[in-house]
Amino acid sequence: MKTLLLTDPMPAGYFTKAIHAIAPDVELVEYRPDITDAELAQAEVVLGWRFPAGIAGRMPKLRWVCAVAAGVEKLLVPDLAAQVPVSRIVDTEQAEGIAQFVVMMALRHARGLVGYEAQQRERAWRRQPVAAVRSRVAVLGMGTMGGAVARLLGAVGFEVEGWSRSSAAPLDTVLVRADIVVCALPLTAQTDSLLDARAFACMPRGSYLINIARGAHVVEPDLIDAVTSGHLAGAALDVQRNEPMAEDDPLWSVPGITITPHIAAQSSPQTIAAQFVAGLRCVQRGEAPPQRVDRARGY
Ligand code: OXD
């Protein structure tokens, strides 16, 4: 059973090495832009991050797609046959890494570090009133990532309210009482562009956004307006709509917006290889693969 590796922008070689270290019999084909129809026709499994345009429709024998990530939206392309199951990685260590990143950014904002960094640039030794953190944080999305984020924020003193699309409370009622909003939602047709001018207007003046989910949750021009007008204090964006960001992307230069290049946390090739090989063995035995996403819901 041949597996096509579509891991770009991560070089496929990392995955080949990690998979062959534990399962040397697994047949792997690394994607190249000039891959032939014959090679695609033989592949029954995909391990990947995204489908290059037109590839899924050229794989008539495809039986399983396994994402190298928790988010699978780049694999749910229209030309992927409806019966093909899609699985994702479930990695508690990655969730912990994400939670640590969120707590770091939430504390940086709530403890006023941004202001002290600015003071240092001016060589100004000035003290401001300080208090232990009690800010209210709304965590949007309470899956593996959001749950870990909420627990760690609570452990350092934040008052946390979780929200997901199935919550009884409408989003606006959660946003209006949040000093900090953390986006940990899956990206679906319903959550695409959820954080727009309306949502930012609901958030209190001086509040802060942290996005560790997907760039497309945020309408970036609306966020830039909300921050430059002073309504929001700022944002920490580990993910952006266009990754990698172009040099002339306007987000780079907005005071108050901190950009990191999708590094909040990543599953290691070894973790991915272990989960992939376990799933592949199920598929080879004719069983349903584990950790499947609901393709209709998108997560
Ligand atoms: C993921 C990610 O979805 O790395 O796992 O963003």
Of 149, 93, 67, 12, nearest to 268 by C-alpha is 93
Clarify whether 292 is annotated catalytic: no
Q: Is 90 in the pocket of ligand 1 (CB under 6 A)?
A: no
* Residue 131 CB contacts under 8 Å (≥ 6 apart), including other chains: none
Of 34, 48, 38, nearest to 3 by C-alpha is 48
Q: Helices (H), strands (E): how many in the chain? A: 9, 11
Distance CA 87, CA 94 (A): 17
pLDDT value, residue 175: 98
User: Could you tell me the two tokens for 264?
Assistant: 């909040």
Clarify whether 214 is annotated catalytic: yes
Alpha carbon of 263 to ligand 1 centroid (Å):
9
pLDDT value, residue 205: 98
Tokens 């994402």 correspond to what residue?
67
pLDDT value, residue 98: 97
CA dihedral 4, 10, 14, 19 (to 10 degrees): -40
Reduced to 3 states (helix: H, G, I; strand: E, B; else coil), residue 27 is strand
Task: Output the tens digit of pLDDT for each of the chain's 299 residues.
Answer: 999 999 998 999 999 999 999 999 999 999 999 999 999 999 999 999 999 999 999 999 999 999 999 999 999 999 999 999 999 999 999 999 999 999 999 999 999 999 999 999 999 999 999 888 999 999 999 999 999 999 999 999 999 999 999 988 999 999 999 999 999 999 999 999 999 999 999 999 999 999 999 999 999 999 999 999 999 999 999 999 999 999 999 999 999 999 999 999 989 999 999 999 999 999 999 999 999 999 999 99
Identify which of 87, 266, 272 to mutate to test ligand 1's pocket (most ligand atoms within 8 A of the CB): 266
Of 220, 292, 277, 274, nearest to 26 by C-alpha is 277
Is the pTM higher than 0.85?
yes
- Which of the residues 262, 281, 292, 297 is marked catalytic? 262
Q: Is 137 in the pocket of ligand 1 (CB under 6 A)?
A: no
DSSP element (H, E) containing 245:
none
278 phi and psi angles, rounded to 5 deg = -60, -40
- Which of the residues 214, 241, 285, 292 is marked catalytic? 214
Q: Is 266 in the pocket of ligand 1 (CB under 6 A)?
A: yes
Q: Are 12 and 32 in contact (CB under 8 A)?
A: no
pLDDT value, residue 9: 87
CA distances from 181 to 103, 166, 273 (A): 12, 18, 33
Identify which of 94, 145, 188, 241 to mutate to test ligand 1's pocket (most ligand atoms within 8 A of the CB): 94
Q: Is 141 in the pocket of ligand 1 (CB under 6 A)?
A: no
